[in-house]
Structure 1
C-alpha cells in the first residue's frame, strides 16, 4: 500500500496583500499626498489682513511647501511602482533582534507628561530640572548626587537664556521673583 503525498493546495495570502507588502512605501506617498493637500488647502484659504509689500507674502511659503509635498509624493510613488525600494535600516550600534525597551519609553513619556502638567504651577526652572533629571534617570544614569545638580543648572541656564537674552518668556513659577 502506497501513500500519496498531501497534494492539497496550501492556503495562500491574497495576491493583493502580497502586492501591498511589496509596495509598502506607497503608504508614505499617501501620507505625503494628504499632508500636501492639507497644507495647500490651508494656505489657499488663509485670510490675510496685512498689506503685502512685494511679490512674497505670508501665503508663499505654505504654498511652496504644499506643492513640494505633492511633488515628492508623486515622485516617490513613481519610484516605488517602477520597483524602487527603500534601504533597510542597519541599526549601526543597535541590535535589531532585541525587543523594545518599553520601560524606558514609558518612563520618558511619564517625564514629558509630568513636565507638561507641572510647568504651569511650578514654572520652567523647577519643571525643567525635573525633566532633565527624569530623562537622565530613564536613560540609565544613576548618579543620584550629580544628576540633580546638573539638571538644576541646565534648567536655570535655559530659563535665563530664553527669558532674558532671547526674549521668549517662560513661566517662572514660585522662583519668578528670585531669578
Structure 2
C-alpha cells in the first residue's frame, strides 16, 4: 500500500481519465436504457449524438490513460495574476453561493426579472462593488433584458412573476 499511494500521486491525471471513463459509460448506459422511437424519416434517430459523445469520452479516457502511463503529465498552472500562496476568500464564495441559492428559491415565487436582479446585484456586491443604486439599476436592466429576450423572442418560458401581466 505504501508504494501505491506515491505512484498514484505522481499520476493524478488518472483520476480525470477515470472520470471520463465513468461519464462515457454513463452516457452509453443511458442511451441503451432509453426507450426507442422508430421514425423512418430520421435514419440516425435521437441516439446518434449521445452515442457519439459516449464513445468520444471513452476514447479520450483511453488516450489520457496511455499518455499518463507513458510519463506524460499536466503542467501546473502559473495562475496569471493569482497568488497561489494566498488562501481562498471564503466570505466571497459563501456570499456568491448564498446569492445563487436565493435566486433559485426566488424564481418560482417572484419570477426571473426580480430573482435575476437579486442574482446580478448580489454577485456584484460579493465581488466588491459598493455602488448600490448604479449596480441595482444595471442588474435590473440585465435581468429584464434577458427575460424579454428569452421569453418574448426565443420562446423560452421564464417565469415573469408580477411582471407577467405587463407583457
TM-score after normalising by structure 1: 0.90
Choose which of 16, 31, 37 in structure 2 pairs with 1:28.
Answer: 16
Distance 2:21 2:109 in 1: 41
Number of matched pairs: 167
Choose which of 73, 79, 82 in structure 2 pairs with 1:91.
Answer: 79
Please give the root-mean-square deviation of Cα atoms over the aligned residues, in Å: 1.2
Aligned to 1:9: none
Aligned to 1:49: 37
**Residues 50 and 128 (structure 1), Cα distance of their counterparts in 2 relative to 1, 3 Å cut:** farther
Distance 1:46 1:117 in 2: 31
Deviation string 1:103-123 (CA, Å, 9 cap, x unpaired) is 111100000000000111111
Deviation string 1:84-120 (CA, Å, 9 cap, x unpaired) is 0001111111111110011111100000000000111
2:138 is the alignment partner of 1:150: yes
Higher CA-based Rg: 1
Say which structure is richer in helix.
2
**Residues 54 and 171 (structure 1), Cα distance of their counterparts in 2 relative to 1, 3 Å cut:** closer
Distance 2:151 2:20 in 1: 37
Structure 2 unaligned segments of length 5 or more: list them: none
Say which SS state the counterpart of residue 106 (structure 1) adopts.
helix
